[in-house]
Chain A
Amino acid sequence: DTGVSQNPRHKITKRGQNVTFRCDPISEHNRLYWYRQTLGQGPEFLTYFQNEAQLEKSRLLSDRFSAERPKGSFSTLEIQRTEQGDSAMYLCASSSSEDSGGAPDTQYFGPGTRLTVL
């Protein structure tokens, strides 16, 4: 179990550019989540997938944001036409609907991708 990995760990971009982040969940996990966290706040839910289906999207996820999980394994989060307000830590988490080792709802988080929009 190598844990949830996210790439890149840091991204600096100019306003108006597009960025894409990748998340690789724990291999046997069928559920995947994206959160955003700004300084001094807790993570805010963005969206989640069960296998390849995107089951819920937060109102925080504007039209400039899109997430995919094409084969039910890794996921990408794209932000188009970035704005300074998009600067945040983007966290990915995964869980298993058949988790027998931990609590049924336990989400395992990756280290995050820190986005800075100049």
Chain B
Amino acid sequence: SQQGEEDPQALSIQEGENATMNCSYKTSINNLQWYRQNSGRGLVHLILIRSNEREKHSGRLRVTLDTSKKSSSLLITASRAADTASYFCAPRGRTDSWGKLQFGAGTQVVVTP
């Protein structure tokens, strides 16, 4: 079954800087989702990118997908203290049941003022 692996495990940046994290997976996917988890709001869906898309934007977030390398990246621009959270990717394999998401261990991002 499909599970993403996020890299780096931890990232520490200052407010205003950009943060980039990566997700690698093993088999062909139908789509890949990114989620954020912080203590205040729990686990929140950020963005979904389909296998036929290469890039997607949502506010300060930019997600890219390279199916030839089986990897995705999440870029947060002009980071804020409120972006401090763990970020998880969840690739959905073509043969995976639609019901479950499989998360990696996540990238823990700390944004300092």
Contact = CB atoms under 8 A, between A and B. Distances in A.
B113 to A, nearest CB: 25
A105 B33 contact: yes
A89 B74 CA distance: 26
Given A103-B33, A105-B92, A56 B45 contact: no
B105 A41 contact: yes
B42 A45 contact: no
B1 to A, nearest CB: 9
Given A42-B88, A103-B33, A103-B48, A109 B97 contact: no
B93 interface: no
Taking residues whose C-beta sits less than 8 angstroms from the other chain, chain A's interface range is 20 to 34
Contacts of B100: 33, 45, 48, 56, 58
A58 B100 CA distance: 9
B43 to A, nearest CB: 4
Contacts of A106: 33, 45, 48
A21 B21 CA distance: 34
Contacts of B104: 42
Interface of A: 31, 33, 35, 40-45, 48, 50, 55-56, 58, 91, 93, 102-103, 105-112
15 contacts: A33-B99, A42-B103, A42-B106, A44-B103, A45-B101, A48-B99, A58-B100, A103-B45, A103-B48, A105-B31, A105-B33, A106-B33, A109-B44, A110-B42, A111-B42
